[in-house]
Amino acid sequence: MENIPILEVENLYKRFGTCEVLSGISFNVRKGEVVAVIGPSGSGKSTMLRCINLLEKIEGGSIRVAGDVMVTTDKSGKVIYAPEKELRKIRLRLGMVFQSFNLFPHFSVMRNITEAQVHVAKKSPQEAAEIARELLEKVGLSDKADAYPYQLSGGQAQRVAIARALAMNPDILFFDEPTSALDPELTAEVLKAMQDLAAEHMTMVIVTHEMNFARDVSDRVIFMDKGVIVEEGKPSDIFTNPQNERTRAFLKGFMDQF
């Protein structure tokens, strides 16, 4: 069981119109692993996360979550998604945190975190509130339970979004540039929350432009460019000794700092 990857992505293809955005992406994520995805703007990082989280339909390839097939492609090239019911089950194992937080503005912070627990996971309101309080404490926002999203700073909002995703107890949590919409001084508090999760061996895939964070916190770095994975490896290798020319060019600015 421990050896089955939580996430297996194979030969993923995605087009928007005639523009091919993902051209055969393959990678695995193991339980407890923290994977950082880096790459230039437009390389398809967001699109990849969105395909895995069923926000976009793929044109080819397969995705398995904990061994269960979410989508696969047959020999004739036909893409076959699992039945709706199965997809709903698989989806509950995935959590996602967006760049723009996407909190529900009409719900209090507490209700943002409890709503899906109660109405999707069918937990009792008491249990959901209990879990929400624990998670809020974990992200350092116990005093904001009754606040509304418009009353939060960006950093606080993103930490609530993280708590909201964690409340569904996902096997793997995806982040799409979680700090890109934040001022530098607010970025730190969100990165800290994510670092705490990493320390608890939460399985995470993080698209980020925070190279220091990728280097210090991730177990593996994936470098994407133009819809393909150009290079992947330990952060120490990728950041100090990139093999590919494109990786080197991309990291040039950052490597000088190290």
Ligand X SMILES: Nc1ncnc2c1ncn2[C@@H]1O[C@H](COP(=O)(O)OP(=O)(O)OP(=O)(O)O)[C@@H](O)[C@H]1O
Which residues of this chain interact with Mg ion, rule CB under 5 A? 46
For residues 204, 207, 208, 212, the Cα torsion angle rounded to the nearest 10 degrees is 40
Q: How far is the CB of 112 from another protein (least distance, A)?
A: 9
Q: Which of 42, 151, 199, 216 binds ligand X (CB under 6 A)?
A: 42
Distance CA 218, CA 29 (A): 12
Residues pairing with 36 in the sheet:
206, 221
- Helix crossing, 125-138 with 109-119: angle to 10°? 130
Applying the rule CB under 8 A, the residues between 32 and 61 that interact with another protein are: 53-55
Stretch of 5-13, 159-167, 193-201, 240-248 lying at the interface with another protein (CB under 8 A): 159-167
Sheet holding 94-97, edge to edge: 94-97, 172-176, 204-207, 34-38, 220-225, 228-233
User: Does the CA dihedral 235-99-23-65 come out positive or negative?
Assistant: positive
Distance CA 84, CA 39 (A): 33
Contact between 16 and ligand X per CB under 6 A = yes
Question: Hey, is 257 helix, strand or coil?
Answer: coil
Closest CA to 228 of 56, 21, 68: 21
- When the beta carbons of 102 and 195 are compared against another protein, the nearer one is 102
Q: Which does 21 bind (CB under 5 to 8 A by kind): ligand X, another protein, Mg ion, none?
A: ligand X
Distance CA 225, CA 203 (A): 24
Q: Which of 121, 181, 188, 255 binds another protein (CB under 8 A)?
A: 121
Contact between 21 and ligand X per CB under 6 A = yes
Cα→Cα distances 112→154, 192, 241, Å: 16, 21, 43
Q: How far is the CB of 30 from Mg ion (least distance, A)?
A: 24
Contact between 45 and ligand X per CB under 6 A = yes
Instruction: Convert residues 73-102 into a mask of x (bound to another protein by CB under 8 A) and - (unbound).
Output: ---------------x--xx-xxx-x-x-x
Number of residue whose CB is nearest Mg ion: 46
Contact between 44 and ligand X per CB under 6 A = yes
Interacting residue ranges for another protein, rule: CB under 8 A: 53-55, 88, 91-92, 94-96, 98, 100, 102-106, 115-116, 119-121, 148-150, 161, 164-165, 168
Which residues of the shown chain bind ligand X in the complex (CB under 6 A)?
16, 21, 39, 41-47
